[in-house]
Structure 1
């Protein structure tokens, strides 16, 4: 596999394009990091004889695809969340894929109704809770608006895609007016201005700055797996919200075939491979995410957190309410 790493700003790509094209290949634009993609791609190359070239970037891939148009060399885009998948679709940059293999491996609520994108993994928007000050108790996202949490909540920016997706799911379940009221009360309960990443929220709880926070499951997994970060992570429980009703909100990583893919047949082979048992198992072990294919084992650490009920709201519905979610976050001045 030939990979080219983008610098942290934009998509300032090494050499600016794919290199050494092969007769049978797939070219990928990826928001996902190389440590996660490389093991899967290398196994695919070995099993199929198809070469894979990857461009990694932190942002700007949709803009690059639009700029390249019909001349693009990219066949497949790998993304880190539902908002980027929908951005590709909304801008008309991806194509539908008709594959019985993918449809059998990826549940309907985790793929686009028009088959223009497909989830590869899921992650839960958990509640991190102080072992000392909150404990291992049932909680819901709605509870975070209650007076008992006044001055006790930490979170990252409301404009971050993970937060926007959660707010979007709240709109889908409760409507715009009730979600705005909920957001207003959650803001009033914040211990500090929204800031930092998910690991930063765990650090804040450990430091006594707040009692609970929102955070993705795999960040917690990475911290408890790191000897230097484990003492901090050991201060919190990872809780699955809304277990008595609809289940915990999930987000996804995913894939989409580009509109002008020059190697469409080979790209679809890779897409099918990524939803299969082997690739799904690698995803689960390497990044501590949840496989989308039913029956694939979770990592030992993730399994130790126990089974949970997931919200089966269609990802397309979550994405549909994203503009409204952004509007409400502005209206309540959540980040100010």
Structure 2
């Protein structure tokens, strides 16, 4: 008798992923000439913003004008709403939401590419933006020390890691990856426009709250766009990582199936030769056998009297009424003459 191995929850998930015999062919973006031109223009814009801030040009003066205008005091009625709206640029909550959606897509499309592409984009974002932040060391509006200065090279001062804006760059990458992984050109266009508007609105919200300069927002928007435009260069490593992970999964499943204990089949019993005596016993009518449990009479159930039970010492003694001797009809009463007994014998 062979029993089927009991599947765990992880085995059922892998079985669900292996249900389709063939993975669908996805439209992977390539590094076309148009994309290369956009990447070059965005990189030039990025370097221009950095140069304008380092040289304390008109852009820095405009930063100070916007900061001294204090938008949060000019329109205080939208302050509470924008406090929640800026969360759309925080890396933790947005990464969880987008990763959940891409994980569902990976399960439905039978591929790990959406999750791996999102992970690669976040890794590039943290490395590139983090290096520029700590390398330039620009202080934010709340930590400014001199009016009109670019507030650069303050490496050991609090709040000196705001250039470029991490909220803006994260909003571009997190919501733009949905457009990058879209399966149709129409969805890609709509999602690209939506992510651009969303990322710019998050960046301008940081200017309203006074946590970033306007130039920080422009540089953060360019930094996130550079990652999305250059992501097709990393598609071959993503494909190799996906193949390696799937191969590792297949080897793990094969090893788990080999180590699963299976029931050993019981060998069939050898045929017993039939003798004449055994044949006669088989032809004889079967005897009626009575099992010991069936022959034993069933015991009547014991019913206890209702109410509380008391011990013998707690019971009230009862004196019996009348004589304790049993009645004997053949015995004569005391004081009467007994009748003559017949004599026997001869």
Which TM class, normalised by the smaller chain length? under 0.3
Per residue, is there more strand in 1 or in 2? 1
Q: TM-score, structure 2 length as denominator? A: 0.22
What TM-score, normalized to structure 1? 0.22
Larger Rg: 2
Name the structure, 1 or 2, with higher relative contact order (CA <8 Å, separation 6+).
1
